[in-house]
Amino acid sequence: MPSYIRFCLIIYAIIFPGIKGMAQTSDSLFVFRSEKKSPQKASFYSAVLPGMGQVYNGKAWKVPIIYAGAAVLGYYYNFNNNKYQEYKDNYLRKLANDPNNPVDPKFRNASPERILYYMNYWRRNRDLLVLSMVGLYLANIVDATVDAYLYDYNISPDLSLRISPMIEPFNPRATTGIKVSLRF
């Protein structure tokens, strides 16, 4: 008989896997559970590891955007730095005019002022990319902080924008226009 009971329990578990106990069920149609997110934690997490604050806030889809931006900025930083080093080396070689350390063939006909101009151009671009990387890092932290502040912000379904034609009744001359009403 015990094998029969075990068999019936297994069949019952296979046929009715989703049935739960009926005690203490919610009688409302909509249950809203919101856990408060800490903006300080989100800021700290994003400062330690960019993107971790977004994951903490439940917005993990932003992480690839942050890292793609960092990768693009890093690539162009490396490109501009290599060009800057190339022009700097050839500028110093051109000034030294040493026959044992000649200038690259593509810089042979260029004046030192022209090489200096392009050297400064690549250095400026490289330095702007460093500032862009810092800006991306700070934007990551600000995004995580603002997102944590607005995590449980409730937007009412009554938020609407109505655009309609209007006639100004208090003007002596009939004036028409467009009326924009925002209801929240």
pLDDT of the residue at 52: 95
Q: Any idea which residue has 């690549």 for tokens?
A: 122
pLDDT of the residue at 147: 94
Tokens at 86, concatenated: 């190339």
pLDDT of the residue at 26: 54
Residue type, 71: A
C-alpha to C-alpha distance for 45 and 10, rounded to whole angstroms:
47
- pTM > 0.85: yes or no: no
Report the DSSP beta bridge partners of residue 179.
164
C-alpha to C-alpha distance for 129 and 70, rounded to whole angstroms:
10
- Chain centroid, CA 150 distance in Å: 16
Q: Any idea which residue has 């075990």 for tokens?
A: 6
The single-letter DSSP state of residue 66 is H
C-alpha to C-alpha distance for 138 and 131, rounded to whole angstroms:
11
Angle at which helix 63-96 crosses helix 112-149, to 10 degrees, equals 160
Q: Are residues 36 and 145 in contact, defined by beta-carbon separation less than 8 angstroms?
A: no
pLDDT of the residue at 93: 93
pLDDT of the residue at 11: 62
Q: What is the DSSP string of 135-175?
A: HHHHHHHHHHHHHHHTTTPPPPTT-EEEEEEEEETTSSS-E
Per-residue pLDDT for the chain (184 aa), expressed as one digit of tens each? Answer: 566 676 656 665 565 555 554 445 555 555 555 578 899 999 999 999 999 999 999 999 999 999 999 999 999 999 999 999 999 999 999 999 888 888 999 998 999 999 999 999 999 999 999 999 999 999 999 999 999 998 887 666 667 778 888 877 777 777 778 888 877 6
pLDDT of the residue at 12: 58
pLDDT of the residue at 81: 97
